[in-house]
Structure 1
């Protein structure tokens, strides 16, 4: 409100620097100013502006995860997350807003420096109480709102307008008048023009006059500063306003405020009741007290598909943690952790059933609290087993909803801290084997699964043994040992049946056995297994595993030559996988649709879908699992499409697919949007590259690796890598294939000119 000159200044500064950090005391309005300026700059960035909220993060390792999640970028390969982000952003033009960096300064600085170095089209707008300390950083202290002198107060002054707007929200009959303008101006001046402090004071007009508010705040300042108003820094102004608001709350409201500060991000009423009740607060009281804190602007409400959620502003959350104190904080955090462990273990059970999608949405909304609970558990040895249970129970979230990399991070940490053999460790071992297998970390997967299988065999733990055998079957499938995979999957299914287990893992064992059988040409048996899995899913109201069964049926239909059925199966699977953000399921369906399009005689669509799939495979893991059985139909599709389109047209169509976002690729695959229009690969000026870079580009177009280029030109491999990196940056390309297409177009153009 009323930040027009500040917004203009932020935009002006961003035009001259690639990293601008807005600094200032908490509550001065850094986040709102950054968000407003970024919104007005949307049209300046081809790939948009993106807000990454960091206040809820508990550890520096999670910063790249948070950025990737905010940008909708996925990478579950196990590679360094920062390097993956740099690779994925290299050719993009976007503004990244990093909000609340102060508690993660080193991690934010490292991220900003690496991404800015890799992505010429990237600019970063950060908010922090202190600078990041990165070379080239421009720092701009956010000023407080303008406050007029009381005798010159006018209605349009920004601090007064903010006070009037917030006061009218709680007392509709409040307006600025000639009589109260000077008093409001004195009050806003006493609050140093800090927006948060003004808002906290304004809500008190419901019970107090403006004069009474001013008088009480004056007393507060005297207490904090010994009467020296000139010595009052702005952070003490805010402290006074927050402390005063705290003391004006009823004792039970104060207690709830302090206890609510253990939540990260937002929370619902049920969580507030479970975590904050007891020892002086009844559950039913919590619900009424939440409403009271909302009335006082301590809590804000957010609408969510699953229902209303509530949030403490970060400044107020930190204040609450301070008031709670260390011993009480540990007690409440234990309750927070126990609450989420109970709900997550229930969510794991409900993953196989009609509430599956609702479970996914709830997990998405609680992601910040899940991270906070895991961090709390894994920060002390006596709580480590609870963290192990949490990480293991979240297998459905890690593997089914696009969070393989983060799952691997938490499972790895939990297993490192829990070396003794316990049921929770056994489960975490086979879950980590499952996650690592899907990521392509085969050595980690084999170690985990071999260890847990030996433990289970040692004491006859049949349930764990069934899961270990099943996941070892996946290792054999992806390692192209089909006979061993079929044997292991069959053994796992027999074990599941003897135990009477029916869940998502059991269904996936049917589907994965069907995939192995289809690669062996046993299509009838594979189809029967898919129908069995689909029937079990339908009976339970389950959708996630059934979508894999539908995909596998589509694969069988493709192998049989029934292209219409293959396309229908892949699209049906894709619709479900989109709901769950299951990137593995999405890319498998898009890949199958590319094969089908080529076989149907639609080579341009096939090439675009192949490009889209290739971009997603780079995020999921190694393309098509590195399996020759998956790669064989892929290679056939590529060869057929190249032959039909010609090299230049194929590369152009393929790169259009690579440029699609995940959502755009899904829309195209589901026929919800027209194919991307053909456009020439950016040619670049003849002198855009140096003579040596043009030479390297020619060798890239021949398909040579960096090592082969180095050998051909008698230069160091690192020098060749540097040449390729600069070529990509100068031409604004994201892949070596784009360089090859650029070279091909220049050759065609030069050839045509010579003929003329």
Structure 2
């Protein structure tokens, strides 16, 4: 059994929580076992992680429970306060813990500590971020002069010593990865804490679902989860989730005695205080990006006016080291580093950005970046790199969406935002994000000038996205788009209006009319026209509509679609054309050939990426061929106009908040030509 030297209250296992708030290590079973193993075999162990993940709690609990550890004496030292203190202040605190007659604020040096440190001691340096530089030198000196000393450090950054082993704590999982149906660790912690202050909380499925939403919004940070659980005394869990959707910095509790744990804002602010001036500026400016971003994007958005662009990568790396940013992928790989800011740090950074008066400039830079990224993504799609386009879009989705939503409040940004949404037409229409895209368009269209080319393109896209949920509104929108497209001389928009007419005809179960509209689209849309379906897509869609009433003609139309230049690299057009050929072969009695075509079309899709429209219809066709089921009518509608997503869920419902915007948009003339 080891003996404890120094103040028995520093650091306590409860880490500042008053009685009734036991620390607990919910979801930390693996980290607890790993830390015990490291303390038994390593001389220097540093527990790192972002603010509020429970570094001190884990370390103190493990040390307190390790009564038979390989050390004979425990020397716990916690750095109090947020200031760095003078030279030798940390060594002075250690010396004061070793010698009870010494004042804790008296400076000391490493030689004094080494002389007083007992043999076989574990030096526990807790929360040393304000004196991080001195801690590195002190630990290095002790390792050289005291052969049997062991050091356990808790800090938001590693020390960077060669003998150091780092245990980095991540937030708790908010979704259970286990197949046994157990509650996710973050939700388990929330429920435990909520029931401690408000018995009977989370007693039904609705409240448990709301608790899971709360933990997801808080990204599983234990301190944030506990502060949120404390709020259940005065408000229901569902209301708490709605409040956290808007902001998180207000979370607070009077129970923690550590000042920085009294609110989430203070916990994050403790990291902000320790940053250099340039790092604080980069933190505030990078908070304008809600999603993941590359190092180059950070340089574009955060550089200038006090921070040179070449300094931004180093600042991003420092912010990642202290847990403000989360590195994505392999930070040492061949690809450009990517980061994502935690939600609490982003809310804090946005407050600083607005206080500095830099929010408009940062929003303008974000808009410029997103406009360029949307153009790159659209070109990737149209040049046959569709898998790459989807991957790129997934990485930029949150930033693009935030830019578009912000544009609804800034009239000078509306046109750029409309270009972004129209340029990403394939994401909304091909990958079944129709309601998301429709909502964004309905926000922007009432703010745009009538009769402009961007407005005409946005109108037909809104009509396409409305076809499944509101065909009448879609027809009215096409009525407004047609004269605008004709007056602007926009053949691509005219052809795409015809394409949407074909989709509406499929909803009326009129494949003959649909085939005519699709053929008109194929003949009208110019080759290589950006911003919507290509003429090859119109040809493939016509083939699919013809499969219902003229399978031989459908095979010919599908061959023409596949013979167009560049179509072999167009994954979506190829998918539709192959489905049309498979349907035509089936109706002509060539079931084996139809099965091979359908199987080949499905195998060509990337299983990692979101599946495009038509995937579910192909799978149903394949299942019908394997079971010998009768021919399904309306094959084209299932592939091109079925309101159900490919996974078979129920159709999306139109959010009520869209209805006023739609009524306002349709108030204008709707003459059909």
TM-score (norm. length: structure 2) = 0.58
Aligned match of 2:299 = 273
Among 285, 288, 291, the alignment partner of 2:311 is 285
Alpha-carbon shift at residue 262 of structure 1 (Å): 0.6
Superposed CA offset, 1:234-285 (max 9, x none):
5675366234213xx1x33332222111110321112112222233444333
Alpha-carbon shift at residue 191 of structure 1 (Å): 6.0
Aligned match of 2:650 = 619
Aligned match of 2:286 = 260
- Name the CA distance, whole Å, in 1 between partners of 2:303 and 2:596: 52
Cα separation, partners in 2 of 1:565 and 1:446, compared to 1, 3 Å: same
Aligned match of 1:645 = none
Correspondence 1:593 to 2:611: no
- Name the CA distance, whole Å, in 2 between partners of 1:377 and 1:240: 30
- Residues 102 and 129 of structure 1 are in contact (CA less than 8 Å); yes or no, is this contact kept in structure 2? no
Aligned match of 1:342 = 372
Aligned match of 1:43 = 180
Among 433, 444, 455, the alignment partner of 1:414 is 444
Instruction: Classify the secondary structure of the residue corresponding to 2:180.
Output: helix
Correspondence 1:382 to 2:412: yes
Among 592, 598, 601, the alignment partner of 1:573 is 601
- Name the CA distance, whole Å, in 1 between partners of 2:348 and 2:51: 12
Cα separation, partners in 2 of 1:102 and 1:473, compared to 1, 3 Å: same
Alpha-carbon shift at residue 332 of structure 1 (Å): 0.8
- Name the CA distance, whole Å, in 1 between partners of 2:185 and 2:444: 32
Alpha-carbon shift at residue 583 of structure 1 (Å): 5.5
Aligned match of 2:214 = 98
- Residues 544 and 577 of structure 2 are in contact (CA less than 8 Å); yes or no, is this contact kept in structure 1? no
Aligned match of 1:402 = 432
- Residues 99 and 128 of structure 1 are in contact (CA less than 8 Å); yes or no, is this contact kept in structure 2? no
Alpha-carbon shift at residue 317 of structure 1 (Å): 2.2
Aligned match of 2:399 = 369
- Name the CA distance, whole Å, in 1 between partners of 2:174 and 2:513: 59
Aligned match of 2:143 = none
Cα separation, partners in 2 of 1:239 and 1:311, compared to 1, 3 Å: closer
- Name the CA distance, whole Å, in 1 between partners of 2:506 and 2:269: 64
- Name the CA distance, whole Å, in 1 between partners of 2:282 and 2:259: 26
- Name the CA distance, whole Å, in 2 between partners of 1:235 and 1:281: 28
- Residues 253 and 263 of structure 2 are in contact (CA less than 8 Å); yes or no, is this contact kept in structure 1? no
Aligned match of 2:385 = 355
Instruction: Classify the secondary structure of the residue corresponding to 1:255.
Output: helix
Alpha-carbon shift at residue 30 of structure 1 (Å): 9.3
More helix by share: 1
- Name the CA distance, whole Å, in 2 between partners of 1:33 and 1:426: 48
Q: What RMSD, in angstroms, separates the aligned Cα atoms of the two structures?
A: 4.4
- Residues 554 and 566 of structure 1 are in contact (CA less than 8 Å); yes or no, is this contact kept in structure 2? yes
Aligned match of 2:91 = none
- Residues 298 and 312 of structure 1 are in contact (CA less than 8 Å); yes or no, is this contact kept in structure 2? yes
Alpha-carbon shift at residue 517 of structure 1 (Å): 1.6
Cα separation, partners in 2 of 1:235 and 1:261, compared to 1, 3 Å: closer
Superposed CA offset, 1:99-118 (max 9, x none):
36589xxxxxxxxxxxxxxx
Correspondence 1:134 to 2:236: yes
Instruction: Classify the secondary structure of the residue corresponding to 2:290.
Output: coil
- Residues 429 and 448 of structure 1 are in contact (CA less than 8 Å); yes or no, is this contact kept in structure 2? yes
Instruction: Classify the secondary structure of the residue corresponding to 1:310.
Output: strand
- Name the CA distance, whole Å, in 2 between partners of 1:298 and 1:459: 49
- Counterparts of residues 193-212 of structure 1 (less than 5 Å): 194=261
Aligned match of 2:535 = 506
Alpha-carbon shift at residue 320 of structure 1 (Å): 2.2
- Counterparts of residues 670-681 of structure 1 (less than 5 Å): none
Aligned match of 2:554 = 526
